[in-house]
Structure 1
Amino acid sequence: MFIKRDNHRWRRFAFSGGFFIILLLLIKFNSSVATMMDAVLQSLFTSQRLEGIGWFHALMTFLSFIASPKMDIIWVIIIAVFLWLRQCKIPAIWSVCTLIGGDFFGGVFKHIVKRARPSQHLPTDDGYSFPSGHTLGIFLIAAILLLVVLPLIQRQSVRTICQILLVFAIFFLAISRVYLYAHWPFDTIGAMLLAYAWLQVAEWLYVAWAPRLQRIPMLEDSII
C-alpha cells in the first residue's frame, strides 16, 4: 500500500491546521506584527539588487508559470494517466481528488480572508492573496509525486535526488511569488500549512477507502 496507516497523522493535522488558523486570524484582523513581518520578509526578495539580475528574474517568472493553478491541472492529469497505465488506478483517482480538494479549500479561505495583493503585483495576478494558490498547488503536486509516483522508482539514489529536487521546487516557487509581488510571504507560508493539513486528511481518506474501492469491478485490479 502506497500510504500506510499512521496514528500520528491527526496530530500533524492539528499542528499545521492550528498554525494556519492562527496566521489566518492575524491577517484577517490586520495584525500589525504580521504586517510588519510580511513587509520585512518581502524586502529580502524584492530588492533592486535581485531585480537587476536578468537570469534570476527569468527563473522566477518561469517557475511561477509552470506552477500556476492551470498548469497544476495539467500536471495532475499527466500523473493520473501515468499511474492508471501502471495499474495504479486508485492512486490515480486519489491524486486528482487531492489536488481538487486542496484548490477548493484554498479558494474558500481566500474569500474568507479577502486579503489584497501587494500593490506592485502584475495585472495577470488577480483575485485575493491569502493563501497562495500557486504554492498550495505545487506543494500538493510534489506530495503526490512523493507518495504515489516515486515509490515506483526502484533505485534509491534516483528517488532521493527527486525528493531533494521537489523540496527545492516548492521553496523557490514560494520565493518567486513574493519576488514577483504576487503575494506576501505569509501568503505562501499559509498555503504550505493549509496544503500539509489537507494532505493529512487526504492520506487518511486513502487508507480508509482504497481497499473498499477495490471492490468496484473496474478498480479491482488496481495496485494500492
Structure 2
Amino acid sequence: MLIVPDNQRWKRFTISGVVFIVLMLMIKFNSTIGTTMDAVFQSLFTSQRFENIGWFHALMTLISFLASPKLDLLWVLIIAIVLWLRNYRIPAVWAICTIIGGDVIGTLVKHFVKRARPAQHLAADDGYSFPSGHTLGLFLVAGILFLVVIPIIQKAAVRTICQLLLIFAIFFLAVSRVYLYAHWPVDTIAAMVLAYAWLQVAEWLYVAWAPKLRELKIFSNSIY
C-alpha cells in the first residue's frame, strides 16, 4: 500500500488544524498580530529592488500562472490519467478526490473569512484573499506527488531531486503571490497549513477505503 496506516496522523491533523483555526480567527477579527506578520513579511518580498529586476518579475508571474487553481486541477488530472494507465487506479481516484476536496474546503473558508486582497492586486486576481487558492492547490499537488507518485520511482536520487523541486516550487509560489500583491503573507502560510491538515484526512480516508474499493470489479486488479 502506497499510503500506510500511521498512528501519528491524527496528531498531525490536530496540530495543523489548531494552527490554521488560530490564523483564520486572527484574520477574521483583524488581530494586530496578524496584520503585523503581514506587514513584516510583505516588506521582504515587495521592495523596490525586486520590482526593478525584470527577469524576477517574469519568473514570479510565470510561477503564479502555472500554479493557478484551474491548472492545479489539470496537473492532477494528468497525474491521475498516468496512474490509471499504469494500473494505479485507486491512487488515481484518490488524487482527484483530494484536490477537489481541498478546493471545496478552501472556497468555503474564503467565503467565511471574506478577507479583501491587497489594494495593489491585479484585476485578474479577484475574489477573497484568505487562504491563497494557488498555494493551497499547489501544496495538494505536491502532496499527491509525494505520496503516490514519487514512491513509484525506482531511483532514490531521482526521488530526492523531485522532492526538493516540489519544496522549492511551493516556496517560490508563496513568494510570488505576495510579490504580485495577490495575497497577504498570512494567506499563503495558512493555505499551506490547511492543505497539510486536509492531506492528513485524505491519507486516513485512503487507508480506510482502498481495501474496500478493491472489492469492486473496476478496482480489483489495481495496485494501491
Work out the CA distance in 2 between the residues paired with 1:74 and 1:41: 31
Residue 196 of structure 1: aligned partner: 196
CA deviation string 1:130-159 (max 9, x = no partner): 000000000000010011111111000000
Helix, strand or coil at the partner of 1:131:
coil
Residue 150 of structure 1: aligned partner: 150
Helix, strand or coil at the partner of 2:7:
coil
Matched AA of 1:48: Q
Residue 131 of structure 1: aligned partner: 131
Helix, strand or coil at the partner of 1:22:
helix
> How big is the shift at 1:26?
0.5
Residue 185 of structure 1: aligned partner: 185
CA deviation string 1:2-30 (max 9, x = no partner): 00100000000000000000000000000
Residue 57 of structure 1: aligned partner: 57
> How big is the shift at 1:36?
1.7
- Say whether 1:160 aligns with 2:125: no
Residue 2 of structure 2: aligned partner: 2
Aligned residues: 224
Alignment of 1:9-158 (within 5 A): 9-158=9-158
Work out the CA distance in 2 between the residues paired with 1:73 and 1:33: 34
> How big is the shift at 1:93?
0.1
| TM-score where L is the length of structure 2 | 0.99
Work out the CA distance in 2 between the residues paired with 1:36 and 1:7: 37
Matched AA of 2:64: S
Matched AA of 1:183: H
Work out the CA distance in 1 between the residues paired with 2:36 and 2:157: 43
Helix, strand or coil at the partner of 1:100:
helix
> How big is the shift at 1:183?
0.2
The answer to which of 178-187 and 30-39 deviates more is 30-39
Helix, strand or coil at the partner of 1:92:
helix
> How big is the shift at 1:84?
0.2
> How big is the shift at 1:73?
1.1
Give the RMSD, CA atoms, in angstroms. Answer: 0.5
Matched AA of 1:94: W
Alignment of 1:166-177 (within 5 A): 166-177=166-177
> How big is the shift at 1:76?
0.6
Work out the CA distance in 2 between the residues paired with 1:27 and 1:166: 28
Work out the CA distance in 2 between the residues paired with 1:191 and 1:22: 13
Work out the CA distance in 1 between the residues paired with 2:151 and 2:23: 34
CA deviation string 1:170-195 (max 9, x = no partner): 00000000000000000000000000
Work out the CA distance in 1 between the residues paired with 2:199 and 2:157: 25
Work out the CA distance in 1 between the residues paired with 2:81 and 2:33: 46
Matched AA of 1:149: V
Work out the CA distance in 1 between the residues paired with 2:82 and 2:25: 40
Helix, strand or coil at the partner of 1:222:
coil
Matched AA of 1:215: E
Matched AA of 1:4: V
